[in-house]
Amino acid sequence: MKKIVAASAIAVLTHLTWNAVAQAQEDYPQRAVTITVPYSPGGTTDYVARMLARQMSEVSKQSFVVENKPGASGTIATAAVMRAKPDGYSLLMNDTTYAMLPAVFKKLSWDPVRDIAPVSNVASTPVILIVPANSPFNSLAELVDAARKKPESLTFGSGGKGSSTHLAGEVFQHQANIKLLHVPYKGAGEALLALVGGTVDVEISATPTAIPQINSGKVKALAISSPQRLPQLPDVPTFAQAGLPDYQVQNWFGLVARAGTPPEIITKLNHLVKEAVADPSIRSSFEKLGAQAVGNSSQEFSQQIASEIDSWGRTAERAGLEKQ
């Protein structure tokens, strides 16, 4: 009789636990959710975050709002989210830069793998090398030739030391056997404005940020890292076509929470992201700007981040990047 009672109690507790999990997942979110972007407004990460927030708000019938906290290659915003309560109401939208941070900084205030709960990779995009509209360079070969003749005579802008735009530029220099002078900004948006204004000579940007500027004639595109030319930019050659076949850098833009966030909340967020990026208007908007909606599982995104931390670490070491 005691065994029967115990078994019944366990069954009741299990049922109650699953009900609680299901209820928590169903009830979330009950108030506004903040998505922190670690860069200034205007960059691709900010753009993707705002499109995602708008669609997730519509899907969930609750507000998802974007807050920008630029500076220190994204570490300021990331540290703030890592200090927040792990309840799913403080999220981080970051990009490939996140996987580069361990290669840039000697010490971070959080563990880049253990202290996050990845939600989903939202979108991916090739990168594109752009120059000001009045630049004398009309091809990648011309740019590379000038840079080889006078090392560090040309400047390249980035969204900050250790950012994805920075290390993408380092990879480019390594493969092209050139040396450019790095000029870091607080975000990709600021770096792009500097390029448009002619303050810097070169930038390697994510395509969603660059395409509007290319179409408006404010900048020129010399090469793109996609396997084939983009329909949106049929006149822009791939890096392979332009003479650098090994340059295959891609950017991702993903959503993470702090470790310790209840698994059922992560599952709910993952479902919301997938539903949001499955919307035809979102996919179309991404595609028009050269980005592809992803929406993978939390586990897949977690594995991707860990793998890229290793690979970008090797890239930074090869480039001789000294940790701060």
DSSP secondary structure of 59-121: HHTS-EEEEE---GGGHHHHHHHHHS-SSSSEEEEEETHHHHHHHH-S--SS-TTTTEEEEEE
Q: Is the same domain home to 63 and 85?
A: yes
Beta strands 90-95 and 155-158 are: unpaired
Q: Is the same domain home to 47 and 100?
A: yes
| H or E stretch covering 22 | helix 2-27
For 31, 75, 114, 118, 255, the CA distances from 305, given in Å and listed in that order, are 29, 16, 11, 9, 11
* Contact (CB, 8 A) for 204 and 97: no
Please tell me the distance from the alpha carbon of residue 65 to that of residue 158, in angstroms, as a whole number: 26
CATH of the domain at 225: 3.40.190.10
Query: Is residue 1 situated within a structural domain?
Result: no
Q: Kindly compute the dihedral angle of the four CA atoms of residues 10, 13, 19, 25, in this order, to the nearest 10 degrees.
A: -100
Query: Is residue 172 situated within a structural domain?
Result: yes
Give the confidence band of 51 by pLDDT, cuts at 50, 70, 90: very high
Q: Is the same domain home to 115 and 37?
A: yes
Nearest to 99 by CA among 71, 121, 130: 121
Residue 161: the pLDDT is: 76
Query: Is residue 13 situated within a structural domain?
Result: yes
Given 222, 242, 262, which residue is the final one in a domain?
Answer: 242
Residue 152: the pLDDT is: 96
Given 242, 263, 287, which residue is the final one in a domain?
Answer: 242
Residue 9: the pLDDT is: 52
Q: Which domain holds residue 211?
A: 126-242
Taking only the tens place, the pLDDT of each residue in 113-133 is 999 999 999 999 999 999 999
Q: Which residue has the higher pLDDT, 33 or 185?
A: 33
pTM for the model: 0.78
Query: Is residue 247 situated within a structural domain?
Result: no
Beta strands 90-95 and 116-132 are: unpaired
Q: Is the same domain home to 58 and 206?
A: no
Q: Is the same domain home to 214 and 166?
A: yes
- The structural domain count of the chain equals 2
Report, in this order, helix, strand and coil percent for the chain, each rounded to 5: 45, 20, 35
Query: Is residue 51 situated within a structural domain?
Result: yes
Q: Which residue has the higher pLDDT, 270 or 16?
A: 270
Q: Is the same domain home to 199 and 159?
A: yes
Q: Is the same domain home to 117 and 258?
A: yes
Residue 122: the pLDDT is: 97
Q: Is the same domain home to 109 and 181?
A: no
Query: Is residue 4 situated within a structural domain?
Result: no
pLDDT surpasses 90 at 297: yes
Give the confidence band of 44 by pLDDT, cuts at 50, 70, 90: confident
Residue 308: the pLDDT is: 93
Q: Is the same domain home to 202 and 276?
A: no
Given 218, 242, 266, which residue is the final one in a domain?
Answer: 242
Taking only the tens place, the pLDDT of each residue in 159-212 is 887 778 888 998 899 899 999 999 999 888 899 999 999 999 999 998 988 999
Q: Which residue has the higher pLDDT, 127 or 43?
A: 127
Residue 166: the pLDDT is: 86
Q: Is the same domain home to 169 and 231?
A: yes
Q: Is the same domain home to 193 and 298?
A: no
Query: Is residue 323 situated within a structural domain?
Result: no
User: What are the backbone dihedrals phi and psi of residue 19, each rounded to the nearest 5 degrees, phi first?
Assistant: -65, -40
pLDDT surpasses 80 at 5: no
Query: Is residue 30 situated within a structural domain?
Result: yes
Beta strands 219-224 and 116-132 are: antiparallel
Q: Is the same domain home to 107 and 136?
A: no
* Contact (CB, 8 A) for 232 and 64: no
Return the percentage of the chain with pLDDT > 90, whole number: 71
CATH of the domain at 26: 3.40.190.150
* Mean pLDDT in residue range 317-321: 75
